[in-house]
Amino acid sequence: MSTVMPVPVTATGRPPAPRRSLRSRRLAGLVLLLAALVGAALLSVAVGAKPIPLDVVWDALVRPDPALEDHIVVGALRIPRTVLGLVAGAALGLAGALIQGHTRNPLADPGLLGVNAGAAFLVVVGIYVFGVTDPLGYVWLAFAGAAAASVAVFVLGSVGRAGATPVTLALAGSAVSALLAALTSAVVLIDVATLDAYRFWAVGSLAGRDGAVLTNVVWFLVAGALIALASAPALNALSLGDDVARSLGHSVRRTRVLGIVAITLLAGGATAACGPIAFVGLVVPHIVRTFTGPDYRWLLPASALSGAVLLLVGDVLGRVLVRPGELQVGIVLALVGAPFFIYLVRRRKMVHI
């Protein structure tokens, strides 16, 4: 059941000194990730329907000139979009690492807790019943829906004696998601105008979100990230199994509840800002584990960094692939992430949910 992968020891790593080599590899990995993040952010600012050379980007950042078209594009469109992608990607990566730790299921994804389905349902209800058409309105509806759905999944998944075990959480998540999806399509089928607004929300995208969207959710994301990073030691204990964690003096229940709160804040906030984006939370922890090992104190920050890189790169790819149009980042990531998921399933000796 455990997600713990054997810590790979380098060819030169002699048994007496594995800590040192592991530590240096972790540091090197973090530095590489930071470099990749800077590169992805620069690409995200420079690439698009109107390509902007990097030196102009630099000028626009250092001494913006409101008279130049390129500088306006950079300042008003590309920078907010890049920052949003960075923050949302980091949140999704963190949420993914958290949910895989809490469910001890290497194939878990925040969508598993019903986050996406709950957000989608309330967005549709908001459009249909209250006539909300403003992206800022979507943000609050989506966040409320995501939070309500994940609380419902947690409560329903805890009805058994053992409490919220990995298996019951996963099953409750898929049941609640299916129910909400059916209700969502019922509303969408009754009203075509709702369908028209909903179908553009339902593909996760960074396009057309202005800075206000980000300022609305950023505090939820910060709070979620702080809870997540603080819970790293407890997650380490939890990955040894509930019984061992309990005997080591950890309150399993409290850790789980805090974990659900953090996942809801992070995944709910990111979904509220960008719409449903799958596979970031699934893929990122696997990539990161290859150099951090199973220690959550390293795994969590590294997951946040690579989540941001992945989302930015996906967004840039979406802008390049179908020029002059745009492929939404949610679709790009599903098309890239699903094959990776299948690769994982084929490569590893599979656990049983």
Contact 156, 171 (CB under 8 A): no
Distance CA 104, CA 77 (A): 40
Q: By CB under 8 A, which span of 11-19, 85-93, 165-173, 257-265 interacts with another protein?
A: 165-173
Interface with another protein includes 134 (CB under 8 A)?
Answer: no
Contact 77, 315 (CB under 8 A): no
Site for another protein in 52-71 (CB under 8 A): none
Contact 242, 255 (CB under 8 A): no
Q: By CB under 8 A, which span of 23-31, 35-43, 64-72, 168-176 interacts with another protein?
A: 168-176
Distance CA 256, CA 75 (A): 41
Q: Quick one: 56 or 207, whose CB is closer to another protein?
A: 207
Q: Quick one: 279 or 296, whose CB is closer to another protein?
A: 279
Interface with another protein includes 172 (CB under 8 A)?
Answer: yes
Interface with another protein includes 49 (CB under 8 A)?
Answer: no
Omega within 30 of 0 (cis) for the link into 18: no
Q: Quick one: 201 or 298, whose CB is closer to another protein?
A: 201
Token pair of 119 as six digits: 């957000």
Interface with another protein includes 144 (CB under 8 A)?
Answer: no
Q: By CB under 8 A, which span of 55-63, 155-163, 293-301, 306-314 interacts with another protein?
A: 155-163
Distance CA 321, CA 332 (A): 9
Report which of 277, 53, 306 is spatially closest to residue 45, judged by C-alpha positions: 53
Q: By CB under 8 A, which span of 16-24, 221-229, 239-247, 331-339 interacts with another protein?
A: 331-339
Interface with another protein includes 129 (CB under 8 A)?
Answer: no
Distance CA 160, CA 110 (A): 22
Task: Write out the H or E segment, with its range, that includes residue 314.
Answer: helix 296-321
Interface with another protein includes 127 (CB under 8 A)?
Answer: no
Distance CA 96, CA 286 (A): 10
Among residues 33, 176, 232, 234, which is the contact residue for another protein, using CB under 8 A? 176
Contact 266, 224 (CB under 8 A): yes
Backbone angles phi, psi at 205, to 5 degrees: -150, 150
Q: How far is the CB of 133 from another protein (least distance, A)?
A: 15
Interface with another protein includes 350 (CB under 8 A)?
Answer: yes
What Cα–Cα distance (Å) separates residue 148 from each residue in 83, 114, 185, 202? Answer: 27, 9, 19, 18
Interface with another protein includes 159 (CB under 8 A)?
Answer: yes
Site for another protein in 268-307 (CB under 8 A): 278-279
How many residues line the site for another protein (CB under 8 A)? 48
Q: What is the Cα Rg of the chain in Å?
A: 21
Q: How far is the CB of 192 from another protein (least distance, A)?
A: 5
Interface with another protein includes 11 (CB under 8 A)?
Answer: no
Q: Quick one: 177 or 231, whose CB is closer to another protein?
A: 177
Contact 268, 115 (CB under 8 A): yes
Site for another protein in 178-217 (CB under 8 A): 178-179, 181-183, 185-186, 188-190, 192, 195-196, 199-200, 202-203
Interface with another protein includes 168 (CB under 8 A)?
Answer: yes
Per 3-state DSSP, what percentage of the chain is helix, strand, and coil (rounded to 5)? 75, 0, 25
What Cα–Cα distance (Å) separates residue 192 from each residue in 124, 203, 222, 314? Answer: 11, 17, 37, 30
Q: How far is the CB of 277 from another protein (least distance, A)?
A: 11
Q: By CB under 8 A, which span of 27-35, 132-140, 171-179, 242-250 interacts with another protein?
A: 171-179
Distance CA 248, CA 225 (A): 25
Residues that bind another protein (CB under 8 A): 107, 156-157, 159-162, 168, 171-172, 174-176, 178-179, 181-183, 185-186, 188-190, 192, 195-196, 199-200, 202-203, 278-279, 327-328, 330-331, 334-335, 337-339, 341-342, 345-346, 350, 352-353
